[in-house]
C-alpha cells in the first residue's frame, strides 16, 4: 500500500465515523482503533464468562424448582453473551484461544464486580437488579457503537439483560413481601453490592485514560461518570419502591442539577480489585483455568471431527 492509499483510507475511516456510520470487519481502520475495540470487547466477553460464577454458585441451592430454572437460564444467557462477544473480537483478527489464555494468566481484565462473593440467595436478586441494571445502562448506548459487529451483538445482549434485571427485581420484591429475615437478607445484599455496582462504570472521567479517544472514535457514546449518574438516578426510585435503603448517607436529590448527589466512591478499593486483590479474584481465575483444562478433550475431539469431515 502506498502512502497516498493510506491517506485515502484514513480519510474514508474518519468520514465514516463523522457520519455516524458503522466500521465493518473488512474496512481499513487505524491500529489504535482495532486494538481499542479488541480490548473493550475482550474485557466485556471475559466479564460475561467470569460473571457466570457468582450466581452459578447458587444453582444447586436454589430455593425452588422455578427459581432454579430461571437461574440456570440466566447463567446460560451469560455464556451466550460471552460467545457472541468473542466472535465479534474474532472479526477483528483476535484469536479466541489467545484471548482465553490472556484471561487465565491475568493479562486481560474483566469487570471488578465479579470479584465479590455471593453470600445468600438475595445476592442473586441484587445482582439481577443492580449488576444487570448497571450493565444495561452501560450497554444500551453501545448498541450505537461505531464497530458494527459489536453494536449488533449488543442489541440482543441488552434485550436479555433487561429480562435478567426484571427477574432480579421480581425475586427481591417477593423476598421483601416475606419474613423479616428475608427482608434483612435483601438489605444486606444491597449494602454489599451498591458501591461495587457504581464502580462497574470504570474510573472517574479525570482518571479514565481511554474515554476521550474511545468517544472520539464512537466506540463509547458516554463517559463513565455520565453513565454512573444515569444509573444512580434510575435506581434510587426503584430502591424506594422495593423498601430498601441504599448505603449512602449523602444520597439526595439535587433540584439544581436535576440529579441525585451521591457520596465519594472508594477508588482505592476499585483499583485494588482491578489489580487482582479483590475478595475472590484468585478463586475466579482458578475456577476458569480449571474449567478450561477440563474442557481440553472437547476441543481435541472437535478438531479431530473437523479434520475427518474435511478428509471425507
Contact positions vs ligand FAQ (CB under 6 A): 39-40, 43-44, 47-48, 51, 78, 109, 111-112, 127, 131-132, 135, 138-139, 199-203, 208-211, 214, 220, 224, 274
Q: Of the candidates 127, 99, 122, 117, which has an alpha carbon nearest to the alpha carbon of residue 43? A: 99
Q: Which is nearer to ligand FAQ, 108 or 183 (CB)?
A: 108
Q: Minimal distance in Å, beta carbon 253 to ligand FAQ? A: 26
Of the candidates 271, 106, 249, the residue with the CA atom closest to the CA atom of residue 191: 249
Smallest gap from residue 200 Cβ to ligand FAQ (A): 5
Burial (CB count within 10 angstroms: exposed 0-12, middle 13-18, buried 19+), residue 153 = buried
Closest separation in Å from C-beta 150 to ligand FAQ: 9
Are the C-beta atoms of 117 and 55 separated by less than 8 Å? Answer: no
Quote the strand ranges of the chain, DSSP E.
Answer: 252-254, 259-261
- How many residues are listed for the chain in this entry? 312
Which residues, at least 6 apart from 189, have a Cβ–Cβ distance to it below 8 Å? Answer: 119, 120, 122, 123, 125, 126
Q: Report the distance separating Cα 38 and Cα 31, nearest Å.
A: 10
Closer residue to ligand FAQ (CB): 43 or 91? 43
How big is the CA angle at 114 (ends 298 and 166), to the nearest 5 degrees?
95
Q: How far is the CB of 40 from ligand FAQ (least distance, A)?
A: 4
For the CB of residue 312, give the shortest distance to ligand FAQ in the complex, in Å: 40
Residue nearest to ligand FAQ (CB): 51
Least Å distance between CB 210 and ligand FAQ?
3
Q: Based on CB atoms, which residue is closest to ligand FAQ, 81 or 183?
A: 81
Tell me whether residue 254 is exposed, middle or buried, using C-beta atoms within 10 angstroms of its C-beta: 0 to 12, 13 to 18, 19 or more: exposed
In the complex, minimum distance from the CB of residue 296 to ligand FAQ, in angstroms, rounded to a whole number: 25
Q: Between residues 23 and 183, which has the closer beta carbon with respect to ligand FAQ?
A: 23
Tell me whether residue 23 or residue 200 sits nearer to ligand FAQ (CB atom): 200
Q: Are strands 259-261 and 252-254 parallel, antiparallel or unpaired?
A: antiparallel
Judged by CB, which is closer to ligand FAQ: 147, or 183? 147
Q: Which is nearer to ligand FAQ, 127 or 285 (CB)?
A: 127
Nine cell digits for residue 20 = 455516524
Amino acid at each position: 500500500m502506498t502512502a497516498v492509499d493510506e491517506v485515502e483510507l484514513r480519510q474514508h475511516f474518519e468520514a465514516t465515523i463523522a457520519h455516524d456510520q458503522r466500521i465493518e470487519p473488512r474496512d481499513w481502520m487505524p491500529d489504535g482503533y482495532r486494538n481499542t475495540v479488541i480490548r473493550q470487547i475482550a474485557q466485556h466477553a471475559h466479564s460475561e464468562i467470569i460473571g457466570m460464577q457468582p450466581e452459578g454458585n447458587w444453582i444447586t441451592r436454589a430455593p425452588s424448582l422455578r427459581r432454579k430454572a430461571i437461574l440456570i437460564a440466566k447463567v446460560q444467557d451469560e455464556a451466550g453473551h460471552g460467545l457472541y462477544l468473542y466472535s465479534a473480537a474474532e472479526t477483528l483478527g483476535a484469536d479466541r484461544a489467545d484471548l482465553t489464555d490472556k484471561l487465565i494468566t491475568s493479562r486481560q481484565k474483566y469487570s471488578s464486580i465479579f470479584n465479590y462473593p455471593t453470600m445468600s440467595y438475595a445476592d442473586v436478586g441484587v445482582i439481577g437488579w443492580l449488576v444487570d441494571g448497571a450493565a444495561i445502562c452501560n450497554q444500551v448506548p453501545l448498541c450505537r457503537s461505531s464497530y458494527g459487529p459489536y453494536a449488533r451483538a449488543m442489541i440482543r445482549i441488552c434485550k436479555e439483560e433487561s429480562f435478567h434485571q426484571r427477574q432480579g427485581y421480581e425475586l427481591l420484591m417477593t423476598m421483601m413481601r416475606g419474613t423479616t429475615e428475608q427482608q434483612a437478607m435483601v438489605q444486606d445484599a444491597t449494602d454489599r453490592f451498591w458501591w461495587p455496582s457504581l464502580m462497574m462504570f470504570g474510573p472517574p472521567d479525570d482518571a479514565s485514560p481511554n474515554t476521550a479517544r474511545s468517544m472520539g472514535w464512537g466506540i463509547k457514546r458516554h463517559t463513565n461518570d455520565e453513565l454512573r449518574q444515569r444509573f444512580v438516578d434510575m435506581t434510587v426510585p426503584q430502591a424506594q419502591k422495593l423498601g430498601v435503603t441504599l448505603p449512602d448517607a449523602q444520597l439526595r436529590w439535587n433540584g439544581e442539577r436535576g440529579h441525585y448527589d451521591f457520596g465519594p466512591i472508594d477508588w482505592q478499593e476499585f483499583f485494588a480489585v482491578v489489580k487482582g486483590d479483590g475478595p475472590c479474584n484468585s478463586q475466579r481465575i482458578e475456577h476458569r483455568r480449571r474449567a478450561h483444562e477440563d474442557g481440553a478433550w472437547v476441543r481435541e475431539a472437535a478438531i479431530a471431527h473437523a479434520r475427518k469431515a474435511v478428509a471425507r
